[in-house]
Amino acid sequence: MFLADLPTPALVVDTAALGHNLASMAAALPGARLRPHVKAHKCTKLAALQARHGHHGFTCATPREMVGLAAAGLGDDLLLANESLDPARLRRLAELDARVTIAVDSNETIEAAAKAGLRAVLIDVEVGLPRCGCAAEDAARLADLARRSGLQVRGVMGYEGHAVGLDDRQRRSDETGHAMQKLLAAHAEVGGEMISAGGTGTFDLNPWATEIQAGSYALMDTAYGRLGLPFLPALFVLATVVSASKTWTVADCGLKSLGMDHGNPRIEGSSIWFCSDEHTTFAADEGRAPPRVGDRIRVWPAHVDPTIAYHESLHLLDGERIVEVWPIDLRGW
């Protein structure tokens, strides 16, 4: 199938850009130095490609991502970098034919993990982002509690999410350093071989972590695109112009095909007016010919993760040809 024949809206992956991104990251953080976060793409086929680039451990945000990776034979070393108190889902994880480690940050999450029959945990430490993670001072106590509950404590994790998106590289680096000092202090008390942290924005600014949990680097988005990272935009929503007035143009993708928390998407040579459920209204920049009804355009999402979660498939583009269709099979919880 050719790009011109694809029903729209559709998520399209530029295979050349994807290949560049995977190779660049594998060169910078080879093998187990990277634990790719699958929440960004939710696609076992893409995870399998990351494994072929040498990364055999994966980071997940949901139990369903863990279950799906294990079922796809990618269960060498799965980390649920998130807290869960769901007894049935935790039991399901304990029964997987996979090496499973989960994050804990409280008495309750440790108790739930032990009760479900899970074997290994990381102590999740808050390092500056107000989200999950225990206070660094509490990490040693929780590690003791976990060990007394029969759990192996493989180390610590702490996500510097307040740093990964900072425009200024020096500030990004400084904030990462501060965050990792907290994490290292906790690790000194907790022990274990793992110090798991980081993201696409800090992949080369975090030498303290033993492994980096980057996900967005594979497909990228316009928010990460501003940071000057060595990764290429590889994901766009293909849309069709369905209406045009003298002043504006309307494409058939909107709030239900684009994550909107980072703001509007981009269309080259245009300014976006607004998105509604199934439409994006935009206007061509001065001096540019506006696209016409029936034209195909590329709409670049601002945030890859919540964009992916709306779609059923990734369409892999090589030149003008769709060479493969990959199910986005890790959606939901």
**Site residues (vs a second copy, CB under 8 A):** 7-9, 39, 61-62, 82-86, 88-89, 105-106, 108-109, 126, 130-133, 135, 161, 240, 242-248, 250, 252, 255-256, 259-261, 273, 275-279, 281, 293-294, 303, 305-306, 309-310, 312, 332-333
Tokens of 159: 């996500």
Q: Which is nearer to a second copy, 152 or 247 (CB)?
A: 247
For the bound state, the minimum distance from the C-beta of residue 278 to a second copy, rounded and expressed in Å, comes to: 5
Strands (DSSP E) contained in the chain are 10-14, 57-60, 77-80, 100-104, 120-124, 152-157, 194-197, 211-212, 235-244, 249-251, 270-276, 279-284, 296-299, 313-318, 321-327
- State the helix-helix crossing angle for 44-52 and 15-28, rounded to 10 degrees: 50
Beta bridge partners of 211: 196
For the bound state, the minimum distance from the C-beta of residue 298 to a second copy, rounded and expressed in Å, comes to: 17
Q: Which is nearer to a second copy, 26 or 258 (CB)?
A: 258
Residue 253 three-state SS = coil
Asked if residues 45 and 74 have their Cβ atoms less than 8 Å apart, the reply is no
Beta bridge partners of 212: 34, 197
> Which residues lie closer than 8 Å to 262 by C-beta, 6 or more apart?
221, 222, 223, 302, 303
For the bound state, the minimum distance from the C-beta of residue 316 to a second copy, rounded and expressed in Å, comes to: 19
Q: Which is nearer to a second copy, 125 or 317 (CB)?
A: 125
Measure the CA–CA gap between 114 and 117, rounded to whole angstroms. Answer: 5
Q: Which is nearer to a second copy, 312 or 324 (CB)?
A: 312
Helices (H) and strands (E) in the chain, counts: 9, 15
For the bound state, the minimum distance from the C-beta of residue 133 to a second copy, rounded and expressed in Å, comes to: 7
Q: Which is nearer to a second copy, 53 or 265 (CB)?
A: 265
For the bound state, the minimum distance from the C-beta of residue 236 to a second copy, rounded and expressed in Å, comes to: 16
For the bound state, the minimum distance from the C-beta of residue 302 to a second copy, rounded and expressed in Å, comes to: 11
Residue whose C-alpha is closest to residue 57's, from 42, 76, 41, 30: 76
Q: Which is nearer to a second copy, 39 or 298 (CB)?
A: 39
For the bound state, the minimum distance from the C-beta of residue 58 to a second copy, rounded and expressed in Å, comes to: 16
Tokens of 244: 């045009």
Q: Which is nearer to a second copy, 53 or 138 (CB)?
A: 138
Asked if residues 154 and 120 have their Cβ atoms less than 8 Å apart, the reply is yes
